[in-house]
Amino acid sequence: MYFVANWKMFGNYKSINTLNKVIKFSKSKAIKKGRLIYCPPYTLISSFFKKFENCLIDLGAQNCHESEDYGSHTGFINSKMIKSTGANYVILGHSENRKKGESDQLINTKIKNAIKAKLKVIFCIGETLIEKKKKKTKAVLSKQIKLGLKKIKISSNIFIAYEPVWSIGTGDIPKSIELEKTVQFIKKKFKGKPPKILYGGSVNTENIKDLKKITILDGFLIGGASQNSKKFIDIVKKTYN
Ligand code: PGA
């Protein structure tokens, strides 16, 4: 199981000290087969990399520029630059960035170039509340998958994070039966072996007890709760107990 910590625009240099607990946990037997991936803001990736030197915690970025080359793009970072920090993952297509205007086509270019740069991609998809109410979830997910992954060979480099937009940061999560059906639906979109599927949206130390019962999931993308090491560890522990 994969546990991805999405710190969003939170954290500063002092946050590094809060990682000691997680590092200790990552070296203990209690972690079982859990794989931890931290996606802090760009400003902290290198420091986290140094901090994680002697443990198996992996790193990722939360987005990247679409260009595969270096260039005059003030304020941006491409996948090559992310890879050079020691990170191995990048989150792409997050709804918070789609909301700011990232199109499926742009996300597709980012994914292609991230793979070229040898990053693994955590590709986020999900419907809004209005789309859900209009029973458009399947149509929305199909479109996001079709366009976002256009001309991309599915391999272990792609993870899909199903994150209903209405669930992010709200405390609401889908009903188990509904979530299971949606994950099945996503898996069936792929002809060969489907990519690993994570669930994201308000995962916390309480609802993990229900979420872990959805055994077709390969892990979780955790926002708010991941900024607190104790909560993050608790989520991993509860997944296995
Ligand atoms: P949340 O965020 O866990 O705070 O809902 C998840 C995400 O946006 O990836």
Q: Examine the residue annotation and report whether 131 is marked as an active-site residue of this protein.
A: no
The Cα-based distances of 85 to 116, 124, 234 in angstroms read 16, 23, 28
Between the CA of 168 and the centroid of ligand 1 the distance, in Å, is 5
Domain segments of the chain: what residues?
A: 2-240
Please tell me if the CB atom of residue 222 comes closer than 6 angstroms to any atom of ligand 1: yes
Question: CA-CA distance, 119 to 77, in Å (whole number)?
Answer: 14
pLDDT (average), residues 34-57: 97
**Which contiguous run of DSSP H or E holds residue 235?**
helix 229-240
Residue 51 pLDDT: 97
Q: Return the CATH number of the domain spanning residue range 2-240.
A: 3.20.20.70
Asked if 89 and 37 count as a contact pair (C-beta separation under 8 A), the reply is: yes
pLDDT (average), residues 96-116: 98
Between the CA of 74 and the centroid of ligand 1 the distance, in Å, is 28
For residue 36, report the phi and psi dihedrals to the nearest 5 degrees: -100, 135
The Cα-based distances of 240 to 22, 39, 177, 222 in angstroms read 16, 22, 20, 16
Question: CA-CA distance, 38 to 104, in Å (whole number)?
Answer: 25
Question: CA-CA distance, 135 to 139, in Å (whole number)?
Answer: 9
Could you give the percent of the chain with pLDDT greater than 90?
A: 98
What pLDDT digit, counting tens, does each position of 167-186 carry?
A: 999 999 999 999 999 999 99
pTM: 0.98
Residue closest by Cα to atom 3 of ligand 1: 223
Ligand 1 atom index nearest CA of 224? 4
Q: Which of 66, 127, 131, 163 is catalytic?
A: 163
Question: CA-CA distance, 71 to 57, in Å (whole number)?
Answer: 31
Q: Examine the residue annotation and report whether 163 is marked as an active-site residue of this protein.
A: yes
Among 158, 76, 170, CA closest to 132: 170
Asked if 70 and 40 count as a contact pair (C-beta separation under 8 A), the reply is: no
* The pLDDT of residue 241 is above 90: no
